[in-house]
Amino acid sequence: MNPRLLNRFALLLPLVLWAVQSGPSAAQGNAGQAITFVVPSAAGGSPDVLSRIITNQWSQNAHRPVIVENKPGAAGNIGMVQVIRGNELTVGYGNINTLAVNRALFSTLPYDVDKDLVPVSHLFNLYNVLIVPAASSAQSVKDLLTEARKNPGKLSYGASGVGTTGHMSGELLNHLEKLNTVFVPYQGGPAALQDLMGGRLDYMFINSSEAVPLIKSGKVRALAVTQLGKRIDQLPDVPTMDEAGVKGYEIVSWGGVVGNRKMTPEQAKALAADLDKVLKTSNVRESLNSLGAQPVGGTPEDFKQLIARETKKWTDIIQSSKIEKLN
């Protein structure tokens, strides 16, 4: 090679390398390297199943491994810490609990949502279903409310732990209707459902993906769904809480993707664009819809604003309901 050209190449090489590292491949996070996707709950649960629908298609689209790691415990806090400790290719499933409710419910958290995490994409919305035992005398939400008012402090509902959407759904009902009912926390959802079906609990709010099979089998009765303004496709004959008389009631069990502060804004935007493509894939939409999850998508800023709105909402509810903070 001509010595003059060789010298010129030597001078340009650092700029070329910088451009390669700073360009689209860096925004995508070093093409080909595996993405770690942390799910802050046990394998087989609703968050895990929904996350794997997303990650399987994401891996195919991106031609790179997307590895799911389950890190359950402490209401999702352990999983969020795992995201923070990872590299820029570590993301996690963040939801209404880990990104909003826990901030108001715990006296301290091992992470700061605003300072330690980077919103990437709002993946989907899920809704709960208010159910009662098949043998319950309550045929409607009105019946249940009447019974609760006649017997303050007597009716009980359960959920898989304090701060879960099942718990918060009941607290919102108490808050709006000025009810006095008893919350019973369980180690897991199946145990709570067994007690409900056995008549040891009066009602529960559970995820639509769990509720639909139980309702269709006749094991429980659905009184209402927690979506506002529209019934869910899987249960077209079941009214919304608002239709049933609890005006303004809505619980959205939303879920999305967050990264950590090692991720640049450009990387977050690139990943959000990738996830939008995943959510527009017909088989992903069909799989999510079959489980009662409605695909959303959007930008990191959209997700950031949702987190802020939901944090304020649940902080107000938890404070007004005088729920004792957890350590």
Q: What is the pLDDT of residue 36?
A: 98
- pLDDT recorded at residue 322: 83
Question: Fold for domain 130-225?
Answer: D-Maltodextrin-Binding Protein; domain 2 (3.40.190)
> What is the CATH topology of the domain spanning 32-126+253-320?
D-Maltodextrin-Binding Protein; domain 2 (3.40.190)
- Nearest-5° angle of CA 50, CA 185, CA 187? 60
User: What's the pLDDT at 325?
Assistant: 86
Backbone angles phi, psi at 229, to 5 degrees: 90, -15
Secondary structure percentages of the chain, helix, strand, coil, to 5: 45, 20, 35
Q: 32-126+253-320 and 130-225: same fold?
A: yes
Look at residue 10 in the predicted model and tell me its pLDDT: 43
- Report the pLDDT value the prediction gives residue 225, as an integer from 0 to 100: 97
**CA atoms in the 13 A half-sphere facing the CB of 287:** 17
pLDDT digits (tens, 9 = 90+) for 196-225: 999 999 999 998 888 988 999 999 999 999
Give CA–CA dist 196/154, Å, rounded. Answer: 15
Domain ranges of the chain: 32-126+253-320, 130-225
Mean pLDDT of residues grouped by 10 in the chain (327 residues)? 43 37 43 90 87 97 96 90 96 96 93 98 96 98 98 96 88 94 88 95 92 93 94 93 96 96 96 98 94 94 98 90 82
- pLDDT tens across 270-314, in order? 999 999 999 999 999 999 998 889 999 999 999 999 999 999 999
d(CA 59, CA 317): 39
